[in-house]
Amino acid sequence: MQRTLNALLLASALFVASPAWADTVYNVSKVIITGNKSVTTDKLMAVVQEHPGSKVTVADIQADLAAITKVLEDSHVAGSVNVSVRTEGALSEIIFAVNDQGTYTPQVTTVAPKLDAEIFDGNASIPTATLATATGLKPGDDLSNAKILAAEQAIIAAYKGAKLPVGMAISGENKQLANGTVDVYWHIVETKAAKKPKDTSDQGAVSE
């Protein structure tokens, strides 16, 4: 007698047994893993709880099927796992057949952090609201290095456009919050602008 359970890698879809079959207890004579090429048998056997001499139910077999599937998923193996129970007399062999289609390179998707707030300090000459408007950044915006650099240049431009008698230096600092959003701190240092030297050239000389 042979019955089959299926689990697709990356989908983790386990066969749901009928009530009658679910209550069946199997006396395990042997556990076999076949078809695995990308992961060693020892590594897969290490997560299997059943062993020769143990008594298992369909739920136990499904748990081992899930454990083997996870090892293969973590090793980025494409394919599927088929498990069958082969019973002869009072003993049963549990066979995990791996359809190993080789490993794949997982795709990593980078999610841009979102702005929580801009925080300014040192800007005694220009109101914070004016500088925040100049950067164009708003809470909830996706952040990138290019956006932050553009915001910094906008702050510098706002100071230049105001034609204030101050010089300034700016530095930025990003702090990630527990919820994954980012606060951007703008540290501004204002200095008194150097006075232009007087023109001492003799522009009113009268020629004789």
Q: Do residue 69 and residue 130 come from a single domain?
A: no
Q: Do residue 8 and residue 98 come from a single domain?
A: yes
Contacts of residue 104, Cβ cutoff 8 Å, sequence gap at least 6:
76, 77, 78
pLDDT of residue 26: 92
- Radius of gyration (Cα) for the chain, nearest Å? 35
Tell me the pLDDT tens digit for each residue of 173-191. Answer: 999 999 989 999 999 999 9
pLDDT grade for 197, boundaries at 50, 70 and 90: low
Closest C-alpha to 69, from 94, 24, 17, 33: 33
Q: Is residue 178 in a domain?
A: yes
Give the residue-averaged pLDDT of 91-110: 86
Identify the domain boundary among 75, 103, 131: 103
pLDDT of residue 79: 87
pLDDT of residue 52: 95
Report d(CA 87, CA 74) in Å as an integer: 31
Q: Do residue 87 and residue 134 come from a single domain?
A: no
pLDDT of residue 27: 95
Q: How far is CA 6 from CA 16, 87, 104, 120, 185, in A?
A: 10, 18, 21, 58, 53
Q: Do residue 130 and residue 183 come from a single domain?
A: yes
Tell me the pLDDT tens digit for each residue of 47-88. Answer: 999 999 999 998 899 999 999 999 999 999 988 898 888 999
Q: Do residue 124 and residue 99 come from a single domain?
A: no
Tell me the pLDDT tens digit for each residue of 17-54. Answer: 445 556 789 999 999 999 999 999 999 999 999 999 99
Q: Is residue 51 in a domain?
A: yes
Q: Do residue 168 and residue 142 come from a single domain?
A: yes
Q: Is residue 205 in a domain?
A: no
Q: Is residue 206 in a domain?
A: no
pLDDT grade for 196, boundaries at 50, 70 and 90: low
Q: Is residue 207 in a domain?
A: no
Its domain, for residue 140, covers 115-192
How many domains does the chain divide into? 2
Q: Do residue 131 and residue 78 come from a single domain?
A: no
Q: Do residue 92 and residue 119 come from a single domain?
A: no
3-state secondary structure the chain: CEEEEEEECCCCCCCCCCHHHHCCCEEEEEEEEECCCCCCHHHHHCCCCCCCCCEECHHHHHHHHHHHHHHHHHCCEEEEEEEEEEEECCEEEEEEEEEEEEECCCCCCCCCCEEEEEEEECCCCCCHHHHHHHHCCCCCCECCHHHHHHHHHHHHHHHHHHCCCEEEEEEEEEEECCCCCEEEEEEEEEEECCCCCCCCCCCCCCCC
Q: What is the dihedral of CA 86, 87, 92, 97, to 10 degrees?
A: 0
pLDDT of residue 207: 43
pLDDT surpassing 90 at residue 12: no
Q: Is residue 59 in a domain?
A: yes
Tell me the pLDDT tens digit for each residue of 121-140. Answer: 999 999 999 999 999 999 99
Distance of CA 131 to the CA centre of its chain: 32
pLDDT surpassing 70 at residue 14: no
6 neighbors 69 (Cβ within 8 angstroms): no
Q: Which CATH number fits the domain that encloses residue 179? A: 3.10.20.310
Q: Do residue 75 and residue 17 come from a single domain?
A: yes
Q: Is residue 202 in a domain?
A: no
Q: Do residue 67 and residue 18 come from a single domain?
A: yes
Q: Is residue 197 in a domain?
A: no
Q: Do residue 123 and residue 92 come from a single domain?
A: no
Q: Do residue 156 and residue 93 come from a single domain?
A: no
